[in-house]
Structure 1
Amino acid sequence: MTVDAVPGGVDLAEGHLAYHTMGEQGPPVVLLHGGGMDRGLLSWRHLGPDLARGHRVFLPDMPKHGDSWPWAARADQAGQVGVLGRLLDHWGLDSATLVGLSMGSAVAAGFALEYPERVDRLVMIDSGGIQDRVPAHGLAYVLVKAPLSRLTALALTPGLVHRGLRDRTFKGPVAGLDDLAAAAYAELRAKRERHAYSDWQRHEIGPRSMRTDLRPLLGRIDCPALVVHGAQDDLVPVRFAREAAERMPNARLVVVEGAGHWSPVERPAEVGAAVRAFLEEPSHA
């Protein structure tokens, strides 16, 4: 990273929340990572420093991710939306632009629905929370539950994590794949509960459908919005992103060709260019 990431944290009643900040001036932007083997400085290793040249960037480790341990509450959709509001209060931000990835997008959009006055702009990247079922939904529901979630975490090796990223998550060559896989495996090994999946995944994937499907509500989000999605995302097919963008009155869609479900890492130049251009537009656009 060419921009220093300054560590910080706050202790709440439920536990500790860790975060990093970048940039010293400009409008505030909060980057919300995905679930499972992810944390703030992993998914946003490219976009964070890029945006910090003209913005104050905040990169939290959401509860039970990264260094945000211990945490004595469920970090599902409702839990994380509540945490996000308290983080904005801690940072002294009346409002901010929210940029989310996967789980983080569902949290950002949910927050925009509950607290529209606190969201200046919304960016949803490879978004979760916009589909009724995930692929192979019944199997996914079984896998995210204990004890299989714990057994999966114990069974995964560095080699399996590397191959999973190379063969399933990414759809083409990725610079620094060895480093990415090592960081993802380290995040898995650090999980205190030893689950392979986040609370969001384990609680939002219901037995027959997703418990959080924000599509019927997206028409209420009227702030400027950008939906960025990998064209070859197998976890959240791009048709759901198209529908989400169509439902929001001030949204547009950017499809990243050749990218899967982790496009800010797989195609950082394209994603970064799209987000920068969106944030630089006049607020009335």
Structure 2
Amino acid sequence: MLAVDRNGSGSPVLCLHGWPGGVSDYRLLTPLLVDTADVVVPHLPGFGDSFAPGDELRPPSDFSREAMVAALVELMESLALEPAVVVGYDVGVTTAIALARAVPDRVRALVVGNALAPSAFVPAALDLRRRAEFWYQDFHQLELAARLLDGNPTGVRAYLEHFWSHWGSRADAVVDEDLVEAYSRPGAFTTSLNWYRSGSSTLYGALAIAEGGPLPSPVDVPARVIWGAQDPLFPPEFAGQVTELLPQASVRLLDDVGHFTPVEAPAEMAEAVREFL
């Protein structure tokens, strides 16, 4: 079963981290909720304390969105968490939505960062004017990525600092020394790449749709989307299409927030979560 960080008591809140991220993504949000909520932050498969030496040798499909959903359903059953408010950003957004699609009776509501609707998915990732933003997802397919960075704390630090500085708007909040240590363990960085190598990432999901694959189906659960307007991956031009994917969603646009919504806008995310507790 997945390793978890668990704090507080009350209605269950399940928080899903991103890449490059970990349970420390919720270090600022958790204290704002523990007075009324049982806040459960799992280390997703292959990340943090759910990583074990040798995981880097397993097939990428073991770390796909589908595998993450299956692991989360098992976790929710074992901890009796349902129905839970599910929170996510980045990898955690698409995983949270997939979880609600798979087991809607176990999800009370979604509170997520920037979420792409079906009609936005392909243009957001494949528009040639924006294609350079997704270079890292191609890089992560290469063995070179692991050779350069796995087990290399200096390289990992430089790599994570790029994303913190480019994707984040509130720079004082996003830097996370715990992640440098976690991603620097031998095998850990390579294992984290398996999310991308499994075809679960934005770019490869968009390519699959462009080649005739199915569009994501709507998920009809109550939802709040906290949209960081400074996110270079998913700019605010796509915010108006969210209800195609989440018909019950409302969107709150934050002008000075980037991609890392749980650490850049913890108060706003906590306010959204509390609506459903």
1:202 pairs with one of 197, 200, 204: 197
1:102 aligns with: 90
1:240 equivalent in alignment to 2:238 = yes
Larger displacement relative to structure 2 (183-192 or 60-69)? 183-192
Q: Counterparts of 1:37-48 in structure 2 under 5 Å?
A: 37-40=20-23, 42-48=24-30
Change (3 A) 1:78 1:56: same
State the one-letter code of the partner of 1:146: L
CA contact (8 A) 1:144 1:197 kept: no
What's the CA shift for 1:216?
Answer: 4.2
CA contact (8 A) 2:85 2:110 kept: yes
State the one-letter code of the partner of 1:20: D
CA contact (8 A) 2:89 2:261 kept: no
2:7 aligns with: 22
* TM-score with structure 1 setting the length: 0.78
Q: 2: CA distance between counterparts of 1:195 and 1:34?
A: 16
Higher fraction of helix: 2
Q: Counterparts of 1:56-135 in structure 2 under 5 Å?
A: 56-70=38-52, 71=55, 72=58, 74-127=62-115, 131-132=121-122, 133=125, 135=131
Larger RCO (alpha carbons 8 Å, 6+ apart): 2
CA offsets 1:137-160 (integer angstroms, 9 cap, x no match) = 774443011312213424653662
State the one-letter code of the partner of 1:144: H
1:269 equivalent in alignment to 2:254 = no
Q: Cα RMSD between the aligned structures?
A: 3.0
CA contact (8 A) 1:161 1:185 kept: no
CA contact (8 A) 2:85 2:273 kept: no
Q: 2: CA distance between counterparts of 1:142 and 1:255?
A: 29
Structure 2, unmatched stretches of 5+, are: none
CA contact (8 A) 1:233 1:259 kept: yes
CA offsets 1:233-265 (integer angstroms, 9 cap, x no match) = 112223334312354221100112111110221
State the one-letter code of the partner of 1:261: H
What's the CA shift for 1:198?
Answer: 3.5
What's the CA shift for 1:128?
Answer: 6.8
1:168 aligns with: 166
CA contact (8 A) 1:102 1:125 kept: yes
* TM-score with structure 2 setting the length: 0.80
CA contact (8 A) 1:149 1:196 kept: no
Larger displacement relative to structure 2 (66-75 or 157-166)? 157-166
CA contact (8 A) 1:245 1:253 kept: no
Q: 1: CA distance between counterparts of 2:242 and 2:214?
A: 6
State the one-letter code of the partner of 1:231: A
Q: Could you say what secondary structure the match of 1:279 adopts?
A: coil
Q: 2: CA distance between counterparts of 1:136 and 1:199?
A: 21
Q: 2: CA distance between counterparts of 1:129 and 1:18?
A: 31
Change (3 A) 1:248 1:141: closer
2:179 aligns with: 184
What's the CA shift for 1:118?
Answer: 1.3
State the one-letter code of the partner of 2:44: M
Change (3 A) 1:210 1:241: farther
1:49 equivalent in alignment to 2:31 = yes
Q: Could you say what secondary structure the match of 1:157 adopts?
A: helix
State the one-letter code of the partner of 1:34: G
CA contact (8 A) 1:64 1:191 kept: no
Q: Could you say what secondary structure the match of 1:174 adopts?
A: helix
Change (3 A) 1:253 1:145: same
1:150 pairs with one of 146, 149, 162: 146
Larger displacement relative to structure 2 (201-210 or 182-191)? 201-210
CA contact (8 A) 1:105 1:129 kept: no
Change (3 A) 1:166 1:145: closer
Q: 1: CA distance between counterparts of 2:232 and 2:158?
A: 19
State the one-letter code of the partner of 2:22: R
Q: Among the aligned pairs, what percent are the same residue? A: 25
